[in-house]
Chains A and B, each alone.
Chain A
């Protein structure tokens, strides 16, 4: 081990801030000081040892006053309010890694609004003739016509999946994969709900191996077909009750009862859904010897693929799957079981965030912020409040290219430079303009900046810039950059509220800097 050895260099505010930017949504100077004082292991523990439920956040959401906007995010009943609900969580979470990691998992185990919406029925018409065994036709029954029922159903399905990723994502990866396989939104999104004996539907079987666990090249087309057969009957059922719920259901009569052969292993498990568990375990332990990397000859493809995905999300997009750091992390992910089970996600993240590799200076400020980073970091680091999560904020983020619950396809979003084009940048710059208005809105807030000790008075431009640099940019500014910012501050003269205009203008400008787009 070299890359995954525990980092032993200096632990300063710079390292702590790097951890906060990657394992969460950034941090303010006071939070960075606190992380620094905890030391490496304490700081990492404060991030990875999160509770399945952030109770303080749940209470905060439940106690939101009943304005229209907050009502919608308290009880998401449509596409926009569901996005707002998650954005509110990202901004207000007490466990920032939990929300950042949930976003990772959403990008990994994709399900999206358009397809799920396309698949669900409202139980009455909409082409539903009751011909699918898992879908009841409630026409003439107890279900009243309700044009919003379908939207509520989809919102609940996707929220349920999101909460699964949030509460169980940092446990045993094997159990997570099994739970995702049986998640109703996933059964709809990747069509396993219509995977029947004699009419195998391979969509989920393929993506399970290609995108969710091992990566392409580590299985054959025969394996895809046989896994699909093993998963027949894993589906949903509906009920003609008020909200036409879709719940997980194993249809024994649609399950293929003949022997299947996957990776050369022939099996036919007797119990309900046991073939599914058997397949998930085969996939977890499959050493493919595919030649994709030398390590594929001795480690399971799933361990390598997932270690690589963690590293490309949290350290650098440019790391290749055969990089020795990936192999080291895969080795630990697969072989170590401090809590009694292998594939322990929490411990894998702890290893990564404590590693020499993670703190290598080469990777600092080397990743492009995705739109959620761009928006949420600014709100958190400037300690301001968004007023319209379900409307303006989520709409800006969608225009920046990240519409939550709607990744472009089953492989998730494209990252890195793909986040940057002229349209997306305009949205970033204009959101900076919107947010800058909220930095100083009244006198008390202006005074708090002066009281922070950064700026001597309202004309101490370098002090004001430093106050904002420590929050937004967090890396040194060049002399040329300082000159541009000083020149702007000096130009804001005359008229009313000069100090407020300087600060708000500087926030706007600094959020358009290349350095603010990087983390």
Chain B
């Protein structure tokens, strides 16, 4: 179905009909209507979807160095490796885990890419610290941790703007991840179950909800109260937006897990035509210290194949919906995980915390391929993969190559020196860099 923005505006205003009994048309409804009218010009706007693999994904068993004898040596991964010949060949050197059949097909279609050997200097093996390093885009971390990397990007673009409640959105979670948190005047909605994203009143519902709305409109000179009023009005405005989006039909391939719920909602919000620029969803459970996989039943047994199967199906649903709705070329998906895992398996059919890892990019705007080289399983750092591509250089490509903005306000000048840039700027990850890349790019 083709749901136009005009329809959506009408629908959301009519769902607010009870507010019209207030003495005057509330200002925010006028503002919200104006904001949506502006969105009519925003259809070409590019979108970034950040996907977290929580727990530390074992990239070595997801993108397999299929020509490296060390990987197949019984000293390395005797019980959990993907058996030779079973992986899905990508570029001759690297193969995808055999459950990821749909994403292998998207690779053939030119919409799925891999960056190998992503990490950072002095890798930290705490889930929490390393996740902070990725989410804040800092290494080392600078306390107090104030703004996530995407929030810094938001502030650099917003620069005194009047935030729209749907500028960013977190799907499948009820807390805002640090990447998107801490912008000067804006916190995005974080929604697991769209049906819960609503105000409830167990009695006298209409009268109570109208009073809650009205009491947040009264005149105040107190800056904190004004901030709270503005936040409450973001609630009111985004509730109808989310309800509008969640009414759109979606693929039966999504599961009932929170990652699927998140990606389903993200797809609905994109297809409903909102101007949301940055989305975030999280796929958890990758901390596979035990029972990760079995060489005997590589497709069925263990945690990792199950998680990858879920990822494959959910992303297939998402990318298909993007393609069918004409949005594929303006959507970029980028994954990250706090660390990869140890090259050698441990004693309990699993792997322990490691360092460098692979990440994925997806969408119509990429050049499919495997970047960053094959992992080196011999020259390791205490058994962990050494990084060759600093993760911030991938983030910087999203900001510069994809969004056409400068990454300097986000990462400082260091983004332009070799300490974090490595040679990724030479890698044509993005098919058509956005026009108007900010001055200052070397």
Show the binding face of A for B, using Cβ within 8 Å.
112, 114-115, 118, 125-127, 129, 191, 203, 210-211, 216, 366, 368, 399, 401, 408-411, 414, 417-418, 420-427, 429-430, 433, 436-437, 478, 480-481, 484-485, 487-488, 491-492, 501, 504-505, 508-509, 512-515, 517-518
B207 near A411: Cβ-Cβ < 8 Å: no
Q: Which residues of A have CB within 8 Å of B189?
A: 421-423
Is B293 at the interface (CB under 8 A from chain A)? no
- The answer, among A420, A484, A505, A517, for a CB contact under 8 Å with B215, is A484
Among B33-41, B60-68, B245-253, B342-350, the stretch in contact with A: B342-350
B212 near A423: Cβ-Cβ < 8 Å: no
3 residue pairs, one from A and one from B, having the closest CB atoms: A421-B187, A514-B228, A480-B218
A505 near B190: Cβ-Cβ < 8 Å: no
CB distance from A435 to the nearest CB of B (A): 11
B238 near A514: Cβ-Cβ < 8 Å: no
Name the residue in A203, A216, A410 with the highest tally of chain B Cβ atoms < 10 Å from its Cβ. Answer: A410
A425 near B232: Cβ-Cβ < 8 Å: yes
B228 near A420: Cβ-Cβ < 8 Å: yes
Residues of B225-255 contacting chain A, CB below 8 A: 225-229, 231-232, 234-235, 238-239
A422 near B231: Cβ-Cβ < 8 Å: yes
Dominant SS among interface residues on chain B: loop
- The answer, among A125, A425, A437, for a CB contact under 8 Å with B348, is A125
- The answer, among B178, B225, B229, for a CB contact under 8 Å with A518, is B225
Name the residue in A125, A216, A423 with the highest tally of chain B Cβ atoms < 10 Å from its Cβ. Answer: A423
B218 near A478: Cβ-Cβ < 8 Å: yes
Is B204 at the interface (CB under 8 A from chain A)? yes
Q: Which residues of B have CB within 8 Å of A430?
A: 199-200
Is B145 at the interface (CB under 8 A from chain A)? yes
CB distance from A140 to the nearest CB of B (A): 15
Closest partner residue, chain B, to A131 (CB atom) = B347
Is B416 at the interface (CB under 8 A from chain A)? no
Q: Which residues of B have CB within 8 Å of A488?
A: 207-208, 210-211
Closest partner residue, chain B, to A368 (CB atom) = B224
Q: How far is the CA of A410 from the CA of B347 in the complex (A)?
A: 30
B220 near A514: Cβ-Cβ < 8 Å: yes
CB distance from A468 to the nearest CB of B (A): 13
Name the residue in A484, A505, A514, A515 with the highest tally of chain B Cβ atoms < 10 Å from its Cβ. Answer: A514
Q: Which residues of B have CB within 8 Å of A514?
A: 216, 220, 222, 224-226, 228-229, 232
B352 near A127: Cβ-Cβ < 8 Å: yes
A418 near B181: Cβ-Cβ < 8 Å: yes
CB distance from B180 to the nearest CB of A (A): 10
A127 near B348: Cβ-Cβ < 8 Å: yes
B145 near A484: Cβ-Cβ < 8 Å: no
Known: A115-B127, A509-B211, A514-B220. A504 touches B235 (CB 8 A): no
Known: A115-B126, A127-B352, A488-B207. A481 touches B228 (CB 8 A): no
Known: A115-B128, A484-B218. A420 touches B227 (CB 8 A): yes
Is B214 at the interface (CB under 8 A from chain A)? yes
Q: How far is the CA of A505 from the CA of B204 in the complex (A)?
A: 8
Q: Which residues of A have CB within 8 Å of B181?
A: 414, 418
Residues of B335-386 contacting chain A, CB below 8 A: 346-348, 350, 352
Is B108 at the interface (CB under 8 A from chain A)? no
B211 near A484: Cβ-Cβ < 8 Å: yes
A211 near B224: Cβ-Cβ < 8 Å: no
Q: Which residues of A have CB within 8 Å of B103?
A: none
A422 near B224: Cβ-Cβ < 8 Å: no
Q: Which residues of B have CB within 8 Å of A418?
A: 181-182, 187
